[in-house]
């Protein structure tokens, strides 16, 4: 792995948190993600199942973790199965974790080869009353390809139909949405690497540069600092493309007078940063661009002031929308009369501001979380208002990453320039 090893104490603590939530007499199973094919003999780069990584730190395919907290034999309460390597595999693909390395990484003492899983699992299952299986239950999930977990659920129900099956995903979400100090340290590193990438771009941006060249500057800085890479496909959107919320073709040209929207985050040890900044290609904002920028920045500041323990995200989003309504009125984009008579189904703001401003952040950029839960210390969220004026080819979004603390919140991206005067000054230095 490229990133620095994480102390196994994190994964031991995570397993203990999840185990404490299982019903008595229960067994839980988590599987590594598949290696996905492309064409011919090609494959995509491997991305580990975030839940398995959260509980074991294992970052390779063909691995399975079994938790059975109530098993009478302490050695059977945690078992990690990993693929046995061979000399041929070492030659062609490099070594996988051996048993000692898997123990050192995960803290699981009972490590076995994956080839013995079926026999061991059957023996464990005969002692269990309940079986917790894991599926991707993220609200935005739209995966049409059956995963390893999907197949495993089907196979278990076919082979062992008389057991009581339960959902592991809500328990994992409950644990993962509140980050430990060790996890927050990983996110801070991802944010620091993102900061370095942004400052690099400020120094090189000029009219005529391709969006793909800006992406390459981020990639260079991220990789030289040992990041896994991008936390998500980066959005490098100049001019009108910034009005496309999920634009990531990054094939346009940065033209004089354009704004360049950068929605980019580094991934460090699987933990994500998620930054958005919008900067002038020419090095200076026009008066109109500055007015919209100031409006978005004002909305963001007011939004961040709302984030504290006990707040419900739905109520928070409603208040941010109210603040955005005022900003859009001040910019002359909508009228006060339209706001006063608007309906929830068709508010006038939707033409210029059509997305939410907060999501959880962690091992996934849109991290798992339970709905309708009040904020509490240890949660990490984004704050990302934006205004998109398609008729002016002007899209502008600003995004911070916020840690909820007992006293309120901390901005994890505070070091990354966001004040327009500072951005103009830094860009002038690089020209």
Catalytic entry in 51, 149, 211, 384: 384
Angle between helices 420-429 and 287-306 (to 10 degrees): 120
| Residue 137 annotated among the catalytic residues of the structure | no
Catalytic entry in 290, 317, 366, 376: 366
| Residue 274 annotated among the catalytic residues of the structure | yes
Residue 72 structure tokens: 């009478």
Catalytic entry in 149, 215, 274, 364: 274
Catalytic entry in 34, 217, 364, 399: 399
Whole-angstrom Cα Rg for the chain: 24
Cβ atoms of 134 and 169 within 8 Å: the answer is yes
| Residue 397 annotated among the catalytic residues of the structure | yes
| Residue 151 annotated among the catalytic residues of the structure | no
| Residue 410 annotated among the catalytic residues of the structure | no
Catalytic entry in 41, 100, 344, 391: 41
| Residue 41 annotated among the catalytic residues of the structure | yes
3-state class (DSSP) for residue 259: strand
Catalytic entry in 93, 100, 140, 246: 246
Angle, alpha carbons 254-256-259 (nearest 5°): 65
| Residue 293 annotated among the catalytic residues of the structure | no
Catalytic entry in 17, 270, 277, 359: 359
Question: Cα–Cα distance between 320 and 195 in angstroms, integer?
Answer: 26
Cβ atoms of 176 and 53 within 8 Å: the answer is no
Q: With 0-12 CB in 10 A as exposed, 13-18 as middle and 19+ as buried, what is 37?
A: exposed
| Residue 346 annotated among the catalytic residues of the structure | no
| Residue 372 annotated among the catalytic residues of the structure | no
Cβ atoms of 290 and 208 within 8 Å: the answer is no
How far CA 151 is from CA of 33, 147, 156, 168, in Å, comes to: 11, 6, 9, 15
| Residue 251 annotated among the catalytic residues of the structure | no
Catalytic entry in 90, 220, 355, 431: 355
Catalytic entry in 211, 302, 388, 424: 388
| Residue 399 annotated among the catalytic residues of the structure | yes
Catalytic entry in 3, 15, 397, 424: 397
Catalytic residues: 41, 246, 263, 274, 355, 359, 366, 384, 388, 397, 399
């Amino acid at each position: 792995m490229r990133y620095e090893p994480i102390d196994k104490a994190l994964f031991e603590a995570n397993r203990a948190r999840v185990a404490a939530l299982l019903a008595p007499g229960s067994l839980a199973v988590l599987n590594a993600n598949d290696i996905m094919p492309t064409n011919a003999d090609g494959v995509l780069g491997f991305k580990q199942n975030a839940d398995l990584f959260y509980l074991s730190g294992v970052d390779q395919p063909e691995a399975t973790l079994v938790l059975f907290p109530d098993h009478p034999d302490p050695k059977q309460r945690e078992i990690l199965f990993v693929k046995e390597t061979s000399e041929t595999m070492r030659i062609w693909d490099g070594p996988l974790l051996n048993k000692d390395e898997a123990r050192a990484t995960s803290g699981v003492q009972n490590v076995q080869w994956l080839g013995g899983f079926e026999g061991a699992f059957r023996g464990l299952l005969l002692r269990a009353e309940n079986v917790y299986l894991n599926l991707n239950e993220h609200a935005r999930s739209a995966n049409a390809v059956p995963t390893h977990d999907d197949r495993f659920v089907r196979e278990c129900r076919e082979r062992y139909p008389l057991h009581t099956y339960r959902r592991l995903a809500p328990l994992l979400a409950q644990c993962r949405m509140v980050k430990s100090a060790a996890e927050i340290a990983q996110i801070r590193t991802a944010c620091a690497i993102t900061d370095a990438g942004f400052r690099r771009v400020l120094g090189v941006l000029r009219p005529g540069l391709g969006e793909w060249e800006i992406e390459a500057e981020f990639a260079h800085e991220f990789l030289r600092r040992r990041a896994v890479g991008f936390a998500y496909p980066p959005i490098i959107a100049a001019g009108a493309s910034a009005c496309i919320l999920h634009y990531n073709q990054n094939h346009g040209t940065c033209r004089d007078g354009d704004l360049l929207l950068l929605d980019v985050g580094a991934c460090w040890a699987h933990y994500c940063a998620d930054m958005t900044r919008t900067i002038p290609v020419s090095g200076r904002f026009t008066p109109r661009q500055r007015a919209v920028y100031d409006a978005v920045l004002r909305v963001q500041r007011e939004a961040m002031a709302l984030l504290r323990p006990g707040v419900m995200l739905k109520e928070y989003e409603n208040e941010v929308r109210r603040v955005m309504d005022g900003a859009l009125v001040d910019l002359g984009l909508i009228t006060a009369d339209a706001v006063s008579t608007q309906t929830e189904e068709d508010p006038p703001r939707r033409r210029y501001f059509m997305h939410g401003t907060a999501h959880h952040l962690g091992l996934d950029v849109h991290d798992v979380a339970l709905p309708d839960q009040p904020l509490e210390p240890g949660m990490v969220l984004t704050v990302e208002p934006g205004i998109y004026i398609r008729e002016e080819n002007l899209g502008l979004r600003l995004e911070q990453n916020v840690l909820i603390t007992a006293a309120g919140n901390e901005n994890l991206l505070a070091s990354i320039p966001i004040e327009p005067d500072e951005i103009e000054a830094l860009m002038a230095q690089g020209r």
